[in-house]
């Protein structure tokens, strides 16, 4: 457990010193929302219909940006080698990287929701609070597979380009259920009104955190 915490701490300290990842992810999310706003021509009906989808597209794209940096950073100066040389189980390295990535993506997600509430005039308390568990569950599902694939993509010829190609078809269940749940919340219902989506999202998180932790050791050996 200490080892996992050490990796998380290392990632957070690096991020706090540079702040480059955070600021670029946030800016990107913000820009996507702005671009959508222009694309939809400020029509309120369309915006209301498309709101949950917009939110998650902004969120996922910004997340991809962060994830592709996650292992690129380790690769610079061959820091990953150092991590692999420590007498640690490979799945612990995965856990550490995954949790720190989840923290970043989650925070960016929450701030995106905040900006969203601000721009599109939703009610503050009744929207933000039920959105938090959705963003958390969505982040876990997205990052669980994303961490595995970013470790993979960084070692291929296509590098960062490959990550979204690998990741998007896999995380379709996350996107579908998160959009559905957010839609319920933005319409003023609770997340339990879409219990099928909620179950799907939780099932995805459990299955893929496990599956990725198990398969991670095969990916990391070769780098």
Partner 1 sequence: MNPSGFVANLIHMIRRILFILAFISIIASVYAAFIYAPTEPKMGHIQRIFYFHMGTVWVATVAFIIVFIASIMYLWKGTRKWDILAYCSAELGVLFLTLTIITGSVWAKPIWGTWWTWDPQLTTTFILWILYIVYLVLRSSAGNDTKKAKYAAVFAIIAFIDLPLVYISARVMRGISPVVFGPGGGGISPEMMNALLINMFACSLLFVVLLLERTDLERMKDAVARLKMS
Least distance from C-beta 222 to partner 1, angstroms? 4
What is the C-alpha separation between 142 and 172, in angstroms, rounded?
10
CB closer to partner 1, 125 vs 196: 196
CA distance readout (Å), 68 to 91, 112, 134: 19, 19, 23
Cα R_g (the chain), whole angstroms: 18
Which CB atom, from 25 or from 140, has the smaller least distance to partner 1? 140
Of residues 103 and 170, the one with the C-beta less far from partner 1 = 170
Angle made by CA atoms 211, 217, 223, in degrees to the nearest 5: 130
State in angstroms the smallest separation of the CB of 90 from partner 1. 13
139 contacts 109 by C-beta, under 8 angstroms: yes
Least Cβ distance, residue 199 to partner 1 (angstroms): 9
Q: Based on CB atoms, which residue is closest to partner 1, 8 or 60?
A: 60
Contacts of 56 (CB under 8 A, 6+ apart): 138, 175, 178, 179, 182
Residues within the interface to partner 1 (CB under 8 A): 145, 148-149, 152, 155-158, 162, 165-166, 169-170, 172-173, 176-177, 180, 196-197, 200, 203-204, 207-208, 211-212, 215, 218-219, 221-222
Q: Smallest gap, in angstroms, from Cβ of residue 156 to partner 1? A: 4
């Amino acid at each position: 457990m200490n080892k996992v915490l050490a990796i998380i701490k290392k990632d957070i300290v690096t991020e706090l010193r540079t702040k480059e990842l955070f600021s670029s992810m946030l800016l990107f999310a913000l820009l996507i929302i702005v671009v959508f706003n222009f694309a939809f021509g400020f029509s309120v009906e369309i915006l209301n219909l498309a709101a949950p989808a917009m939110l998650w597209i902004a969120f996922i794209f910004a997340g991809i940006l962060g994830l592709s940096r996650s292992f690129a950073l380790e690769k610079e100066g061959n820091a990953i080698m150092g991590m692999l040389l420590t007498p640690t189980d490979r799945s612990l390295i995965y856990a550490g990287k995954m949790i720190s990535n989840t923290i970043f993506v989650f925070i960016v997600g929450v701030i995106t929701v905040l900006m969203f509430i601000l721009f599109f005039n939703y009610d503050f308390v009744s929207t933000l609070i039920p959105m938090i568990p959705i963003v958390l569950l969505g982040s876990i599902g997205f990052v669980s597979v994303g961490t595995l694939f970013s470790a993979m993509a960084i070692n291929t010829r296509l590098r960062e380009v490959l990550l979204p190609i690998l990741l998007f078809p896999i995380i379709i269940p996350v996107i579908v259920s998160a959009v559905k749940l957010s839609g319920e919340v933005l319409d003023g219902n609770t997340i339990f009104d879409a219990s099928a989506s909620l179950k799907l999202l939780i099932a995805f998180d459990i299955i893929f955190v496990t599956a990725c932790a198990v398969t991670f050791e095969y990916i990391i050996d070769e780098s």
